[in-house]
Amino acid sequence: MGEIAERYRRRAEAFERKVAAVHPEQWGNQSPCAKWTARDVVDHVVTMHAVMLTPVARKLEPADDPLTAFQEARAAIEDVLDDPVAALTETDTPAGRLTTEQHIDQVVSDDLVLHGWDLARATDQDETMDPADVERLWEIAVAIPPELMTKYRTPGAFGEGIEVYGAEVPVEPDAPLQDRLLGLLGREP
């Protein structure tokens, strides 16, 4: 198993544990994303998994509940990552031409970390993010050129209803790295 597949599996397992721990009455809780409930966070993650499957002509079937929907989305992505032809299929993305596995790594795998925090915050779970993931995402985020970061913060720049990051939230420079990452990406730590 390659590094990308391992990273995705580790993050997906952590996200799935958070989804499984949500109590039925918590699905309507407000998430840190202004327009989303806890259920909307999971719906978004599942939708983005479906987007990653499009270049390899695979799709997800609707599921009745958030946990099943995520488990099915996870299984579909793992199948792609385990299939060398599908994983290495190239596609045009907003970040340029990438293999499917690279696109999965840069979009849904990274999203699992941040949206796992969103779900944890919305449903009173442990909000601690894996320190290795925090460090990796921090390095990626601070390397984003200012003009691209502006585009990421512009609602609709990547399509109707798509907002990648919110406005930066000021955080003390000596705050823990997780807090600085969350603030940079538009969340109140």
For residue range 178-188, list pLDDT tens digits in order.
Answer: 999 999 999 99
β pairing state of 90-93 and 96-99: antiparallel
Are residues 34 and 57 located together in one domain of the fold?
Answer: yes
User: pTM, whole model, 2 decimals?
Assistant: 0.93
Are residues 153 and 70 located together in one domain of the fold?
Answer: no
| Domain count for the chain | 2
How confident is the model over 148-157, as a mean pLDDT?
81
Inter-residue contact 160 to 177 (CB < 8 Å): no
Are residues 115 and 154 located together in one domain of the fold?
Answer: no
94 pLDDT band, cuts 50/70/90, is confident
Which residues span the domain enclosing 66?
Answer: 1-126
For residue 161, the model assigns a pLDDT of 67
Given 109, 126, 143, which residue is the final one in a domain? 126
Given 96, 111, 126, which residue is the final one in a domain? 126
**130 has pLDDT over 80:** yes
Given 85, 109, 126, which residue is the final one in a domain? 126
Q: Which amino acid is at 131?
A: P
CA angle 113, 137, 135 (to 5 degrees): 105
How confident is the model over 131-140, as a mean pLDDT?
97
